[in-house]
Amino acid sequence: MSACFLGQTSRVTPTNSTRRMSPVTQATEQPVWLPGVNVPQHLNRNLPADYGFDPLGLGSEPEALKWYVQAELVHCRFAMLGVAGILIPGLLTKVGILNVPQWYEAGKVAIESQPFGLNFQTLLGFQLFMMTWAETKRWVEFKNPGSQSNPDSYPGAEMLPGKVFALGGSGDPNYPGGLFNPMGMGDDSMKVKEIANGRTACLRFRICCTIFCH
């Protein structure tokens, strides 16, 4: 990215004195979100898609940085699902494959139609219960990585054949692997692409809400 702003550099044959670069030199040569800005010291550029962006210093504390990384990743994944849920059903309805309402009307239609014979209050209560359960599990896994891959963390799992709730994985709550990565696409390059596309999806979802919700 910096080459686009600084121009093409000349090729220099490395010598013994220039062959090894210090970590500081390597960090400054990595792409940054704005050319010429100083990268905060707490960003060591080891995170996926880390371009040194933290002007408010929110991640200066290590524990806070871990949580912000987790929060960004979760929001990126939700945003990608949300944008796909906006575009794909709309396109399939337009070509005649589906017949569903526009995304900004889907909630109203679902409430009025009472799917499965359930009223809005029942659906809302069920969603709140399931989301609270899932978010509690995520919080516990964040505080104690690997704990939620233990079948004992799921009440009643011992009664199921083979303890199907034992998800296994890497022990990293951000990238658990195992059942959540069946195609083995968890290398560093894919992590960068996920964050990059997720950040774009966050902006796109915000644009969609701005256009259609006024």
List the binding residues: 72, 75, 77, 118, 167, 193-194, 197, 199
Binding residues for chlorophyll b: 77, 167
Exposure b/e, 142-154, CB count within 10 A at least 16 = b? beebeebbeeeeb
**Least confident interval from 25-29, 187-191, 210-214:** 25-29
pLDDT in tens, 22-74: 444 444 478 999 999 999 999 988 999 999 999 999 999 999 999 999 999 99
- Is there a contact between 59 and 68 (Cβ–Cβ < 8 Å)? yes
Per-residue pLDDT at 21: 40
To the nearest whole percent, how much of the chain has pLDDT over 90?
A: 50
The predicted pLDDT at position 212 comes to 79
CA distances from 79 to 86, 143, 207 (A): 10, 24, 12
Over residues 73-96, the mean pLDDT reads 96
Q: What average pLDDT is seen over the chain?
A: 82
Going by the annotation, the residues of the binding site for chlorophyll a are: 72, 75, 118, 193-194, 197, 199
3-class state of residue 177 by DSSP: coil
Q: What is the pLDDT of residue 161?
A: 56
DSSP 66-104: HHHHHHHHHHHHHHHHHHHHHHHHHHHHHTTS-----HH
Query: For 175-186, what is each residue's pLDDT tens digit?
Result: 887 777 878 788
At residue 148, the pLDDT reads: 76
pLDDT range class, residue 170, cuts 50, 70, 90: confident
pLDDT tens for residues 101-122?
Answer: 999 998 889 888 888 888 889 9
